[in-house]
Amino acid sequence: MTRTSSTPIDTRERGWAGGRLGAALGVLLPPLAAFVVMAGVWEAAVLLFEIPAYILPAPSRIWVSLIKDGGSILGHTGITLFEAVAGFTIGSCLGALLGIAFAYSRILARGLLPYVIAANTIPVVAIAPIIILWFGHGIPSKIAVTAFLSFFPLALNMMKGLQSYDHTVMDVFHVAAASPWQRFAKMRLPSSLPYVFVGLKLNVTFSVIGAIIAEFVQADRGLGFVIMTAYRTLNMPRLWAAMLMSAIIGILFFALVALIERLLIPWHSSMRDRVRG
Amino acid sequence: MAGAERPSPSPGEGSGRQAQVLCEDLQVVYPGEQGAKPVHALQDINLEVDEGQFISLIGPSGCGKSTLLRVLADLITPTGGTARINDHPPRTARLNREVGFVFQDAALLEWRRVLANVALPLELQGVPRAERQARARELIELVGLKGFERSYPRQLSGGMRQRAAIARAMSTSPKVMLMDEPFGALDQITRDRLNLELLELSQRQRMTVLFVTHSIREAVLLSDRVAVMSARPGRIIKLLEIDLPRPRTLESRETDAFERLARTGVHVLEEGFGVS
C-alpha cells in the first residue's frame, strides 16, 4: 500500500505571505512548462516517425477528439465522477464507523481485523463482477464497487488514528474528569485526522479506479464504457481523451481532499516540521 | 455536550482540621510479568502536606515519585493504604476538580490555540465560554504568556509550552498542584526563570504543591520540605525541612545555608542508593 501523502510539502508559509500570485506561478509554472515540452516532443515524434494514430495519437488529435465530441465525453465524465464521489463518501463513512468500533472494542478488532485486511487485498477486478451481479446494471452497482474499495482503507486508518493519541494528553483529560464522549470528540477524533486523511487520499484514487473498472465489467455510460467502446472500434484518440478526463477528475478530486485537509489540520504537517527541527 | 463524570457524594466531609494531602501506609505493587517478582513501586508511604506547603519529592529513577503523584491524581489505584486529598479519596478529589497536574511534557492540544488549551479543563467542566475565556486570559497573563493567546502550541518554545500547561492546570483553581518534573526537559536558564516564577506563583496563590524533580538544588530552592526517596521498594527515607527564609530568589542558592541543605540532600540520596 503506497502512502504518497505522508511526505508533506509545505508551501503554506510562502502561499500566504505577500506575493501570493508569484508563489502560485512558482508552483504552477514548472509543471506547465514540462507539459508544453512533453506535448511538443510527442507531437513532433508522431509527425516525424509517422506513428499511426492507433499506436500513439498525437496530442493535437486527442484534443480534436475531445473537442469534437466534448459534450458526450463530458457527460460520461460526470457520471464516472458522480459514481466515484458517491462511492467514496458512502464507503469512507461506513469505514470510519467500523474503524471507530475497532478502536473501542478490542474483541471486535481481534475477531474481524484479519478479514478486513484480507478483504482489502482482493483485486477490484475480481470483486467487481460479483458486486455488479448483486446490485444490478445501473449506477448503484458502480457506486457499490467504489464504496467497497473505499471502505477498508478508512476503517484501518480510522482505527489507527484513534489509537494514536498522546497518552499524556489522555492523562490530562482524565485529571480534568472528562467524559468518554469528551475524550472522543475533543481529543481522540482530532488526533486521528492525519490518519483519516491518509485513508481519504488513498480512497480518492481507489474510487476513480473502482468506478472505471466497474464500468469495464458492465455499463452503458461512464468513462470506463467510453474506453471499452473506443478500444473495440480502435478509436484511439477518443480512448486517450477519456483517459485524460479520468486523470483530470482524479487530480481535481484529490486536490479537493488535500484542500480540506489543509483547512482542517493546519497544525499537523508543520508540527512534523517542528519535530524534524 | 454530554455531562462529565459526576463526583459521588463524599463521606466524612468537614471532619475537623486535616492535612490537605494525606498518605497512610500507601502501597503500590505492580504484579511481576511472567514469573518475575512483583515490583514494589511504593511501600509504606506516610506523608502529610498542609495547605499552602511546597513539598518536593526527589530520588533515583524508579523510586516511585511519579507513581505517588499519579496515585494522588487518581491515575493509579493504590494496592494498599489510603491516600486522601482534603479528606476525600483521590477519585472524589479529581471529580471535584481539586487537583491540578503538570506533566513533564506540556501535552497541549496541537490543534488548539493557547487560549483554548488553557481553558480546556473549564470547557470539560461545562463552564460557559465567556467565563472560561476570561479566566484563561487571567491565567495566561499570570504565567507571562500575554500576547500569545492566539498562538498555536507549535509556535511556542519549550518553556512557553510549559507555562501554558501550568496555566491550564491552574484553570479550575485546584487546591493541590501535582507537578511531575515539569521543567525536566528545559535548558538551565529557562528552568531557573520558571523556578523563580513558580516560587512567586505558589506563594501568591497559596497553592499546595507536590513537585517531583531530579535536581536537589531545584528542590531546596522551591520547597518547604524535601522528601528524599529510595528505589525498590520506593519509600521516603528522609524528610528535610528547608528553613531558608522567604521570599527566595535565585541568589538564595548562593548562601551557605542553601549549600548545607543541598549537601545534606545529596548525602541522603546517596545513602538511598546504598540501601537499594
**CB atoms < 10 A from the CB of B255, how many?**
13
3-state secondary structure at position B74: coil
**Residue A275's pLDDT band (boundaries 50, 70, 90)?**
very low
Count up the domains in chain A and report the number.
1
3-state secondary structure at position A137: coil
- Contact (CB, 8 A) for B97 and B73: no
| Average pLDDT for chain A | 87
Q: What is the pLDDT of residues A171-205, one digit of tens each?
A: 999 999 999 999 999 999 999 999 999 999 999 99
The CA-atom distances, in angstroms, between A211 and each of A18, A252, B119 are 42, 16, 47
Rounded to the nearest angstrom, the minimum Cα separation between B170 and chain A is 11
CATH code, domain carrying A108:
1.10.3720.10
Rounded to the nearest angstrom, the minimum Cα separation between B152 and chain A is 8
Rounded to the nearest 10°, the torsion over CA A168, A173, A177, A180 is -120
What's the pLDDT at B4? 55
Per-residue pLDDT, averaged over B153-173, amounts to 93
3-state secondary structure at position A110: helix
> First and final CA of chain A: distance in angstroms?
28
- Which residues of chain B neighbour A181 with C-beta distances below 8 Å? 1-2
Range of the domain at A218: 73-270
To test the contact with chain B by mutation, choose from A13, A175, A267, A272 the residue with the greatest count of B C-beta atoms within 10 A, namely A175
Q: What are the structural domain ranges in chain B?
A: 18-98+177-183+210-276
Nearest CA in chain B to A275: B154
What's the pLDDT at B2? 47
Beta-carbon-side half-sphere exposure of residue A3 (alpha carbons within 13 Å)? 11
- Contact (CB, 8 A) for B228 and B271: no
DSSP state of B242: -
Fold of B18-98+177-183+210-276: Rossmann fold (3.40.50)
The CA-atom distances, in angstroms, between A263 and each of A7, A193, A256, A260, B149 are 17, 12, 11, 5, 20
Higher local confidence (pLDDT), B131 or B273 = B131
Rounded to the nearest 10°, the torsion over CA B95, B99, B103, B107 is 50
Query: Is it the case that residue B271 has pLDDT exceeding 90?
Result: no
Q: What is the pLDDT of residues A97-121, one digit of tens each?
A: 999 999 999 999 999 999 988 888 8
What's the pLDDT at A19? 66
Reported ipTM? 0.89
Of B3, B121, B152, the CB nearest to A267: B152
Residues linked to residue B209 through DSSP beta bridges, in sequence order: B54, B177
Single out the residue of A73, A43, A79, A75 nearest to residue A235, CA to CA. A73
Nearest CA in chain A to B172: A176
**Does the beta-carbon distance from B168 to A169 stay under 8 Å?**
no
- Contact (CB, 8 A) for B72 and B176: yes
Of B99, B100, B107, the CB nearest to A168: B107
- Tell me which residues of chain B have a C-beta less than 8 Å from any C-beta of chain A: 1-5, 73-75, 94-95, 97, 99-101, 103, 105, 107, 109-111, 120-121, 123-125, 152-154, 168, 172
